[in-house]
Amino acid sequence: MNKLDNFFGKNRFMAHVYYGDPDKEFSHRLIKQMIDSGIDILELGIPFSDPQVDGETFQKACIRALAGKTTPIDVLKSIGKIRKYNENIPIVITTYYNVILQYGIEKFVNELKQRNVQGIIVPDIVLEEAGDLIKSCEENEVYFIFIITPYTNEERMKKILSIAKGFVYLMRTSNVTGAEVVDNLTKQKIEQIKSIKNIPVMTGFGISDTKISKKMIGYGSDGVIIGSAIAKIYEKYIKDDKITDEEKCLNEVSDFIISIRDVL
Amino acid sequence: MKSLGKFGKFGGMFVPEILYTALEELEEAFIKFKDDENFNKEFQYYLKNFAGRETPLYFAKNLSKKLGFKLYLKREDLVHGGSHKLNNTIGQALLAKKMGKKHFITETAAGQQGVATVMAGNAFGLKTKVFMGLKDTKRQTLNAERIKLLGGEVIPVTRGHQVLKDAVDEALVEWIVNNETSHYVIGSAVGPHPYPTIVRHFQSIIGKEIKSQIMESEGKLPNKIIACGSGGSNALGAFYEFIDDEEVELIFVEGGGKNAVDEKHAAAFFKGSPGVFQGAMTYMLQDEFGMDSKTESRATGLNYPARGPELSYLKDKGRMKTEYATDEEVLVAFQIMSKEEGILPAFETSHAIAYLLKLEGKLDKDEIVVLNFSGRGDKDVQSAINLLDIKV
């Protein structure tokens, strides 16, 4: 039994943080604050040296975390500490593929299981290359979370959905043709996914406020994924790679999370 | 996808899902047109009349005498724009037109790829955006300015360390956002499938010409072919035709930086290991956790932490020998080639020359060595002047 099973009766809020930005101690206080303020799923990111698909905010987060010598092992270890203050929240690990590959696919996924992690998101892999990883995930009951994009056609979607578990990550936008077109595409995709399989859809990418969050829920999304909007709040408080005025900073993060929580 | 573009265990398609459709479309177009008679006729027309092919295979008599064997230079520096890069950008421009694209996106380090993309883009009516690491725009100002003069848009990349790999990431993001109207022109034999295959295909004209030219002048195949590289567009272009000719030794020279024994270099074959980097499984410089290492090379175009996947395959198979040249050796090679033969080589090409010079006195006088002269040195003249403290 995976914590993500039967988890979606109400709309959910998944929050993404890169662990170690700007340092490990702050990450723990930030994560605790986010959980206490009402996030439903923690997406814990492993800082990477070449975060290809991340925007500027997360690129900087990775640079800061790596400058502080945060390693994938630190991130894995941090899960135990997080579990000490919260046993129940589903945790999803996000990492670029080479980190898993160098660590050893089986060893990595097995560690996730040992540490009570429910899912894994790999932003730079497609189904066709993920065979070994998906197999390890199945053996360890860690859900491999698939990403579906506005460009994923129906045939491919069916292929992905036939093995998808937990929830699917719908990438909201590609900014191409203006907000309205993006919204329509997102709405269409949610309907299309739901018509193929009864699986929760979490929508993410470029979701920064209550207005967009509300809209996504209106389109039938089972929740939202928010990442860089949170990093944007705390990075304002970073000076010389340290958080200043931490109490104020965490309160601001809290207020933001509560405001999103309220519209879901 | 019809294939995942594997070269043994290397290559593949390690990309965000959002690129899948665009790569599939590109593969489909490539398969459809690569053997199409009209497409190839048009490609040949532009290679001849726009790029100036075929390029000479020049017998370098002064250096031949000095080194003690027969040296031929494949003069890719004479291709329009000053390097072999245009061979591929013409091919990809034709493909982009067939796919109905309106814009070109590319990245560049030394600027040669940027220049060649804008040139081909202009010839085919495609607007070009060139992503270039901010540091590289400063090191290769002449080419950055050339791109602008040609009407291309130079976008200085401020992410990461502001070098080639960062420019690749930015270009990819741009492609993700605009992939319906844009074609991303990768200039080296790197990245996800089908790029390594496409680039090698369009560059393989180099080796085909070498073969027919050397057969005409010498009546036999060369003993060695030497090429510099990082992704391998010029090296694979020169080597590919000879892969089954086992008697021809293929030698690849990468960027040794200040000294490839310490950390400051770009020698991924010498010091790296297989990993997944920017779309493909390949040799790369990385730490124990899979983080790519910061690289350094005097040749901006070789300053990249990974090799092309097909090169990795050829290395592991034992078909290709790998060497590196240091920044100092490169500067010496630059001067020797210029003075002996009257041809200014690019710093990239000077890596191959640096290895070539090490063969002095070691070969039989009838042995034939072909050096792929991938680019001209104009873009590096200012750096060389500064390094050598030349005053008139």
pLDDT, tens digit, 9 for 90 and up, residues B343-362 = 999 999 999 999 999 999 99
Q: What is the pLDDT of residue A177?
A: 47
Specify the higher pLDDT residue, A245 or A173.
Answer: A245
What are the distances in angstroms from CA A120 to CA A127, A168, B253? 14, 11, 39
Nearest by CB to B276, which of A73, A98, A150? A98
Q: Do A176 and B13 touch (CB under 8 A)?
A: no
Q: What is the pLDDT of residue B163?
A: 87
- A205 in a structural domain: yes
pLDDT tier at B391 (50, 70, 90 boundaries)?
confident
Of chain B residues 274-313, which have a CB less than 8 A from chain A? 275-279, 286, 288-292
Q: Do B18 and A59 touch (CB under 8 A)?
A: no
**CA of A98 vs chain B CAs: smallest distance (Å):** 5
DSSP symbol at A47: P
Q: Is the peptide bond before A22 cis (omega within 30 degrees of 0)?
A: yes
Helix-then-strand count for chain A, H and E: 11, 11
Q: Do B176 and A174 touch (CB under 8 A)?
A: yes
Do A42 and A120 fall within a single domain? yes
**What is the pLDDT averaged over residues B116-133?**
96
Helix, strand, coil percentages in chain B from 3-state DSSP, rounded to 5: 45, 20, 35
Judged against a pLDDT cut of 80, whether residue B230 lies above it is answered with yes
Q: What is the pLDDT of residue A179?
A: 59
- A172 in a structural domain: yes
- A1 in a structural domain: no
Show the CA angle centred on residue A216, arms to residues A53 and B20, nearest 5°.
Answer: 35
Q: What is the pLDDT of residue B263?
A: 65
Do A215 and A232 fall within a single domain? no
Percentage of chain B with pLDDT > 70? 100
Show the CA angle centred on residue B113, arms to residues A123 and B76, nearest 5°.
Answer: 135
Residue type at position B69? F
Q: Do B291 and A123 touch (CB under 8 A)?
A: no
Burial B263-286 (b: 16+ CB within 10 A, else e): ebbbbbbbbbebbbbbbbbbbbbb
User: Residue B10's closest CA among B290, B234, B197?
Assistant: B197
Q: What is the pLDDT of residue A20?
A: 98
Q: What is the pTM of this model?
A: 0.95
Q: Do B292 and A50 touch (CB under 8 A)?
A: yes
Copy the structure tokens of residue B145. 């300015």
Do A16 and A89 fall within a single domain? yes
E-strand ranges in A172-231 read 201-204, 223-226
Copy the structure tokens of residue B216. 């005409």
| Count of other CB atoms within 10 angstroms of residue A242 | 12
- A117 in a structural domain: yes
Do A183 and A59 fall within a single domain? no
Do A56 and A160 fall within a single domain? no
Mutate to test the interface with B, among A98, A111, A144, A205 (most CBs of B within 10 A): A98
Do A74 and A190 fall within a single domain? no
Any A CB within 8 A of B4 CB = yes
**CA of A48 vs chain B CAs: smallest distance (Å):** 6
Copy the structure tokens of residue A246. 């931490």
DSSP symbol at A177: T
Residue of A nearest to B16 (CA): A124
Do A125 and A246 fall within a single domain? yes
Q: What is the pLDDT of residue A25?
A: 97
Query: Which of the residues of B are catalytic?
Result: 85, 107, 374
Residues composing chain A: 264
Do A54 and A107 fall within a single domain? yes
Q: What does the mean pLDDT of chain B come to? A: 95
pLDDT digits 0-9 by tens, B23-72: 999 999 999 999 999 999 999 999 999 999 999 999 999 999 999 999 99
Do A208 and A182 fall within a single domain? yes
Question: What's the complex ipTM?
Answer: 0.94
Q: What is the CATH number of the domain that holds A126?
A: 3.20.20.70
DSSP run (H or E) holding A45:
strand A41-45
Q: Do A66 and B291 touch (CB under 8 A)?
A: yes
pLDDT digits 0-9 by tens, A110-134: 999 999 999 999 999 999 999 999 9
| Neighbouring residues of B319: CB distance < 8 A, sequence distance ≥ 6 | B243, B246, B250
**CA of B118 vs chain A CAs: smallest distance (Å):** 23
Mutate to test the interface with B, among A60, A101, A105, A126 (most CBs of B within 10 A): A126
Domains in chain B, please, with CATH? 6-47+85-199 (3.40.50.1100), 52-82+204-388 (3.40.50.1100)
E-strand ranges in B49-152 read 57-59, 70-75, 103-108, 127-133
Residues of B within 8 A of A99 (CB-CB) are: 289-291
**What is the pLDDT averaged over residues B246-270?**
91
What are the distances in angstroms from CA A40 to CA A207, A217, B223, B313? 16, 15, 66, 46
- A180 in a structural domain: yes
Nearest by CB to A151, which of B21, B159, B288? B21
Question: φ and ψ at A206, to 5 degrees?
Answer: 70, 20
Q: What is the pLDDT of residue A164?
A: 97
Q: What is the pLDDT of residue B387?
A: 94
> Strands B224-228 and A168-171, how do they pair?
unpaired
Tell me which of A21, A40, A54, A222 is the catalytic residue.
A54
**What is the pLDDT averaged over residues A226-243?**
95
Tell me how far apart the alpha carbons of residues B372 and B44 are, in angstroms, rounded to a whole number.
Answer: 21
Residues of A within 8 A of B190 (CB-CB) are: none
Q: What is the pLDDT of residue A178?
A: 55
SS3 at position A92: strand
Q: Do A72 and B289 touch (CB under 8 A)?
A: yes
DSSP run (H or E) holding B13:
none
Q: How many CA atoms lie within 13 A of A105 on its CB side?
A: 16
Judged against a pLDDT cut of 50, whether residue A222 lies above it is answered with yes
Beta-bridge partners for A226:
A15
pLDDT digits 0-9 by tens, A194-220: 999 999 999 998 899 999 999 999 999
Helix-then-strand count for chain B, H and E: 16, 14
DSSP run (H or E) holding B29:
helix B17-33
Residues of B within 8 A of A125 (CB-CB) are: 14-15
> Which of A221, A236, A256 is a domain's end point?
A221
Q: What is the DSSP string of B130-195?
A: EEEEHHHHHHTHHHHHHHHHTTPEEEEE-STTSSHHHHHHHHHHHHHHHTTTEEEE--SS-SSTTH
What are the distances in angstroms from CA A209 to CA A3, A103, A212, A222, B268? 27, 36, 6, 16, 44
Residues of B within 8 A of A52 (CB-CB) are: 16, 169, 172-173, 278
pLDDT digits 0-9 by tens, A9-44: 999 999 999 999 999 999 999 999 999 999 999 999
Q: Do B15 and A97 touch (CB under 8 A)?
A: no
Alpha helices in A38-149 (DSSP H): 56-67, 72-85, 97-103, 105-114, 131-140
Do A43 and A137 fall within a single domain? yes
Q: What is the pLDDT of residue B179?
A: 84
pLDDT tier at A176 (50, 70, 90 boundaries)?
very low
**CA of A36 vs chain B CAs: smallest distance (Å):** 32
- A194 in a structural domain: yes
SS3 at position A242: strand
Maximal CA-CA distance, chain A? 51
pLDDT tier at A181 (50, 70, 90 boundaries)?
low
- A164 in a structural domain: yes
- A2 in a structural domain: no
Residues of A within 8 A of B180 (CB-CB) are: 176
Do A27 and A82 fall within a single domain? yes
- Spatial contact of A244 and A238, defined as CB atoms under 8 Å apart: yes
Q: Is the peptide bond before B194 cis (omega within 30 degrees of 0)?
A: yes
User: Residue B322's closest CA among B330, B333, B313, B331?
Assistant: B313
pLDDT tier at A151 (50, 70, 90 boundaries)?
confident
**What is the pLDDT averaged over residues B259-270?**
84
Any A CB within 8 A of B173 CB = yes
Its domain, for residue A170, covers: 146-221
Q: Do B18 and A151 touch (CB under 8 A)?
A: yes
Q: What is the pLDDT of residue B161?
A: 84
Q: How many domains does chain A have?
A: 2
Do A115 and A168 fall within a single domain? no
Is the dihedral angle over the CA atoms A191, A196, A202, A205 positive or is it negative? negative
Tell me which of A23, A40, A43, A111 is the catalytic residue.
A43
Nearest by CB to A123, which of B12, B16, B277? B16
